[in-house]
Amino acid sequence: MRHGFRMLLALTALAGLLVSAGCVQHETGWATAYLPDHNAKIPVVMPQSAPSISQQFYRDPDGSGHLGIDVIDRIGTPVLAAAGGQVIDSYFEPAYGNRVTIDHGPNADGLRMLTVYKHLNSRGVSQGDRVERGQQIGTLGNTGALAGGLPHLHLEVRREVRPQVFRAIDPHTVWAGGVGQVTCFDPTAPIEPGSFGITYPVRCR
């Protein structure tokens, strides 16, 4: 019995080490559940090859919350533009660290869509640059106090609700493959231009 208990302790310590080293249990193909006390949950279909999602979108009645999704992967992993567009922001600030914002232009309704990438380790684009879908715009990191030291990409999608007024929406509503269908970027399967739909902001394996 004593031996078994020590073995258990050793395994627990090992698991702790692995987690603290960033070797989390589900590297790909896993998406955490939405918080139970928030509505508007979307059934999420994760490709087995897609780096995992550790936090989902939610908005509290006061407008605050977690207004994007967190994708976990190693520091230095290339971060890819979720759709083509123009870089309108690329800077560092203490809370969210290095961030890049891409303007994807007007949708069919004439209102614009933006994607925002936070906690980047490095930024590879500057304000005014044009980017293609799938183009590397930086690398994944843990910059900014709100990253909590955990390497991840915080991805936000913002929809223009009236001119110059943007509101964060759940990224799972706008995948290129359909609502809830996490869509890996595949350079051999181009997505028709003209329709806004995002592809995964890191490479699937």
Applying CB under 5 A, which residues contact Zn ion? 70, 154
Count of CB atoms situated within 10 Å of the CB of 74: 15
Distance of CA 20 to the CA centre of its chain: 21
Residue 101 or 191: which CB sits closer to Zn ion?
101
Residue 70 or 170: which CB sits closer to Zn ion?
70
Residue 70 or 73: which CB sits closer to Zn ion?
70
Q: How far is the CB of 27 from Zn ion (least distance, A)?
A: 18
Residue 98 or 191: which CB sits closer to Zn ion?
98
Give the full edge-to-edge strand order of the sheet including 136-139. 78-80, 136-139, 122-123
Q: How far is the CB of 57 from Zn ion (least distance, A)?
A: 9
Q: What are phi and psi of 9, to 5 degrees?
A: -60, -45
Residue 4 or 148: which CB sits closer to Zn ion?
148
Q: How far is the CB of 58 from Zn ion (least distance, A)?
A: 11
Residue 59 tokens read as 């908005």
Q: How far is the CB of 73 from Zn ion (least distance, A)?
A: 14
Residue 119 or 123: which CB sits closer to Zn ion?
119
Count of CB atoms situated within 10 Å of the CB of 142: 17
Q: How far is the CB of 66 from Zn ion (least distance, A)?
A: 6
The DSSP 8-state label assigned to residue 201 in this structure reads S
Question: What string of DSSP letters covers 36-51?
Answer: TT-------B--TTSB
Instruction: Using CB positions, name the residue nearest to Zn ion.
Output: 154
Q: Residue 141: beta bridge partners?
A: 152
Q: How far is the CB of 55 from Zn ion (least distance, A)?
A: 5
Cα 120–Cα 14–Cα 8 angle in degrees, nearest 5: 145
CB 99 within 8 Å of CB 153: no
